[in-house]
Amino acid sequence: MKKQQTKPIDSTSELLAGRNELILFNDDVNSFDFVIESLVEVCDHDMTQAEQCAIIAHFKGKCGIKSGTLTELTPMNNELNSRGLSTVLA
């Protein structure tokens, strides 16, 4: 059997290529409980992680809540937006 040759990764940018981030923005409409519940249900966060993301977004204005490929993040972004949360893919 012939061995498959792999190319070593030369830089961090090559390693992270194709990775995107889902960002949650603060708003004055949704409650903390609703945001936390949505992050748990949609992004598969545990309660602690969801609470921390909600607090960071509240105080800093935004928080990166998930990283991955566009294929992984687009359905999450769409669902969070349909729930009235302000999110974007970056």
Expressed as residue numbers, the domain containing 70 is 29-89
Q: 41 in a domain, yes or no?
A: yes
Note the pLDDT tens digit of each residue in 2-50. 555 555 545 455 445 678 999 999 999 999 999 999 999 999 999 999 9
- Look at residue 35 in the predicted model and tell me its pLDDT: 98
The structure tokens listed for 24 are 């949650």
DSSP state of 85: -
- Look at residue 39 in the predicted model and tell me its pLDDT: 98
Q: Which alpha helices (H) appear in the chain, and where do they start and end?
A: 12-16, 32-43, 47-60, 70-82
The candidate with the shortest Cα–Cα distance to 81, out of 8, 73, 3, is 73
- Look at residue 18 in the predicted model and tell me its pLDDT: 72
Q: 33 in a domain, yes or no?
A: yes
- Look at residue 57 in the predicted model and tell me its pLDDT: 98
Q: 42 in a domain, yes or no?
A: yes
Q: 5 in a domain, yes or no?
A: no
Q: 35 in a domain, yes or no?
A: yes
Q: Number of folded domains in the chain?
A: 1
